[in-house]
Amino acid sequence: MAQDPIPARYAQALFETAKAERAVERTLEQLTLVGRLFHDHPALRQFLRNPDVEPADKVGVLDRALKGSWSPLVQAFLRMVLAMGRAEYLPQVVDAFQAAVDADQGRLRAVVRSARPLSAPQLARLRTALAHREHLEIELKTEVDPTLLGGVAIRLGHRVIDGTVRRQLADLRERLHAVRVA
């Protein structure tokens, strides 16, 4: 899955500015909070996306929601994004900014889905194997998905490693259909 270039460009520009100002972590924290507000509050999301509302009013609402605790950099960035009518991209900007921070710090986030919770030793082995394969520090997040028959599915950024039983059975089915019986 390709990353959308519009939010990626916004995020990269913000990242470079935040890095130059030595404010990457603070910017990430504030941007993540804005993303969470956008995700968790449908009325706010609709308000920010509304083209009939002035960008200054949108920024004012965000300022009240954040209680004025955001940096001038994040405030200016959001003012620009909202003025350009790009509010719908905010969640993707947050994700792209996080990815830029991770890449800069030599870290890769992985989401591991399994039918049952994995044990600490299993997670440690998985983290070690992924770190060896990717040559990066791996930060694992786990999700239990009872719809899986077994095995694991790992999402590394925009790539997926599908080691689920369902996938293995589908591969076996394809190979069996390809075999000619004489």
User: Each residue of 27-40: pLDDT tens digit?
Assistant: 999 999 989 988 99
pLDDT for residue 1? 44
Alpha-carbon span 23 to 30, nearest angstrom = 11
Taking the complete model, does pTM exceed 0.85, yes or no?
Answer: no
Show pLDDT as tens, one digit a residue, over the chain (182 residues): 456 789 999 999 999 999 999 999 999 999 999 899 889 999 999 999 999 999 889 988 888 888 778 899 999 999 899 989 899 999 999 999 998 999 899 998 899 999 999 999 999 999 999 999 998 899 899 999 988 888 899 998 778 899 888 888 888 888 888 887 76
Alpha-carbon span 57 to 98, nearest angstrom = 27
C-alpha dist (Å) from residue 30 to 58, 65, 68, 95, 112: 16, 12, 11, 13, 26
CA angle 111, 117, 118 (to 5 degrees): 75
- Domains of the chain plus CATH, in order, are 5-102 (1.10.520.20), 106-178 (3.40.30)
